[in-house]
Structure 1
């Protein structure tokens, strides 16, 4: 695919105040775009001014949701270096999602180089305040004008960037979670393990219903028996029970999170026993009743670690660790963010540095 030509924007946007950053509301001056056709494969990679996309109303993406996306971040260190955190894992997962949605694979190394080039161009957009970062959103859309149910013959791969504030403005605080028993997020054999828009659209109803009762998110149960834990909101979930860390095993409906993988590696590095297996929520309830449920937390790119202070399940309230952030949750958050911002040792060589 060769080099990546750059067309610079003639008008630069005003950058937002770092203390007023909202997640995903502001976008940088440029974006990366690459096209695909069955005849040419992936071609015409370019960086261009951020702009609207013109698509035919019959484009397949609008009708059948043939689209995938990823999410990662660029971090500015104290000495002005720019870090990416395990971008190769995001590109590997992008291609797994592509495969599930019948989208042609993308050259992973080239995609990372494109991201690095775009982030380097937009370095001035990376906020420097503690806890802030530049969110990177790669995505693929099906663009063929055709309303027959079939894979598209044309696509675009696009990367956009958004400066984002600290997820927790006053430190990490435990959230309240409602266990969802009516709606399901995904089932094995479906698209739950792919990062595709339809999964997230399907999750909105349950989250909207519990938000009115003061809950931050829902805990999803399996779609068959409605008893086994899957994810919390759009994050993977972990529990500390009597000293052991347990998390749902990947079963075809659970997204394989990059943060999930990193958490497991760190915990094992520290000597914890980590067990990936099926977990009935009744087991969580009984562990809480017996005083053995010590911590619970979500893990994902946006929040890194999100401690859970309370579950609501079948009219039961399960308050965890007196509603306070647990020791393991805090250590994971501090270590992962420390590695990302270059203040902690990186024992696994997870950081990819973008050089000037």
Structure 2
């Protein structure tokens, strides 16, 4: 067919065909963008996993697991130094007065022991008045999936072992009159009356066992299998924690092979007003390494020894309080998170490209 001038008509393309071509172009572009974003997220996940793991903690094989800081069995253990940083993830921020912590681990068939050594020029053991805080130390332990570094999470609870200098080296009446309240007939100590484990007048055991599912969720465990003992050194403290490899508490971390055993550390300096969330902490996990304990993965960093914390350094201060990809946590598990990211990225990219076409 032709027009009045004899020129052939040009047939306009069918609208559905144009739409199909535009949709195909948008789909290809969205697919490419999604692939790039997915690759970046997976790389970030691997990098974050390495960032929150500082290396392996050697475990010395001994006949008898040492329960005291001066035990001869510690001569067989390898000392490893980890870096400590101020707690800056949740209120109250603070700490950081202790910069390094030396860690040694020894085990036999039935027990695992840790010895922590750090410098602290003041022995803070008297908490009998307001504003007086005790020196202290803790180990956070989890077997299996690596938890968020800030005291675990709802689906990854952690086991925390705690020692306080005032329990072992303080006055006979540990709390003095600090927790005393006036009463018409006499003075009363409600914490002591309620059997608060932190308000006792004296302690026979110096280690306590706790569970946590995230910051602010610390709870006293019904099962108390942890032993601890500390001594004052020329320039600080040396504290031993020891526990059987297996324990029956709800969230007690098993210390046997088969799955990774993740550990992290915290220290409090009472004279620096460090208490509760104000503390010096490791921002990276270590994993126990031994013939009967799990060997760390390839992303774990250095192989331990006295050479330091491996990947420790200025970058530690930027590590987040979670492990792995942050988006996956918001979706509840890693697979759902990745699928969610892929779907959302594709839809947004597709719509944006189609609008511009």
TM-score over 0.5 for the pair: no
Structure with higher RCO (Cα < 8 A, 6+ apart): 2
Rg larger in structure: 2
TM tier, shorter chain?
A: under 0.3
